[in-house]
Amino acid sequence: MSILAMTANAAKVGANKAQVTTVKWSKPEVRQVKVNVDASFYADSCTGAIGAVIRDVKGDFIAASTNYIPHVASAMVAEALAMKEGIGLAHRMGCSRVVAESDSLEVIQACNGEQRWWNEASAIFADCVDAAINLDSISFTHCPRESNEVAHSLARFCFDAKSDCTWVDEPPSFLLQPLLDDVTIL
């Protein structure tokens, strides 16, 4: 093979390389907080855990909570319960302008009224919408899994610990690195 052919092949290979982009957490607008939620579901035992975290416009930690769910029907129910907990946590912390994010597109569509769900999570979606009335404003947005790592870490921790926890002002030590990773890209 000639040098010219090898150079042409190398150029083609280089042109076909996919761009790798890192998707990370994005900050809310001024005077808003962002609530990220996630759930873990284990079908073999029908158990799960949820995590919710609140951060401000600088990415600073405000609060987080976890709940272990010893009996849960599906991943959809667990994700819906996570959103309900996130909204409730925001209300309990006195937050009034909220961006609520989940990596579950179905939960976001249901909370936005874009999709009607007639399944075991329907009543929980209704609870989310009802709880949102307690806030001055709320928007439900979908986020990629990669930008939801803090909430995912909370759910995973809760499942392993099998206990409910709440943290205010100071995050637990296992969240320090994921929180730092999110704000270093802002």
pLDDT per residue, tens digit, the chain (186 aa), is 455 444 455 555 555 555 656 678 999 999 999 999 999 999 999 999 999 999 999 999 999 999 999 999 999 999 999 999 999 999 999 999 999 999 999 999 999 988 776 788 889 988 998 999 999 999 999 999 999 999 999 999 999 999 999 999 999 999 999 999 998 865
Cα separation, 177 vs 183, in Å, equals 10
Looking at residue 148, which CATH number applies to its domain? 3.30.420.10
Q: Is residue 58 part of a domain?
A: yes
Cα separation, 156 vs 50, in Å, equals 8
Full-model pTM: 0.86
Q: Is residue 171 part of a domain?
A: yes
Q: Is residue 170 part of a domain?
A: yes
Q: Is residue 117 part of a domain?
A: yes
Describe the chain by its helix, strand, coil percentages, rounded to 5.
40, 25, 35
Q: Is residue 10 part of a domain?
A: no
Q: Is residue 57 part of a domain?
A: yes
Q: Is residue 175 part of a domain?
A: yes
For 41, the domain range is: 33-183
Buried b (16+ CB within 10 A) or exposed e, 123-137: ebbebbbebbeeeee
Domain tally, the chain: 1
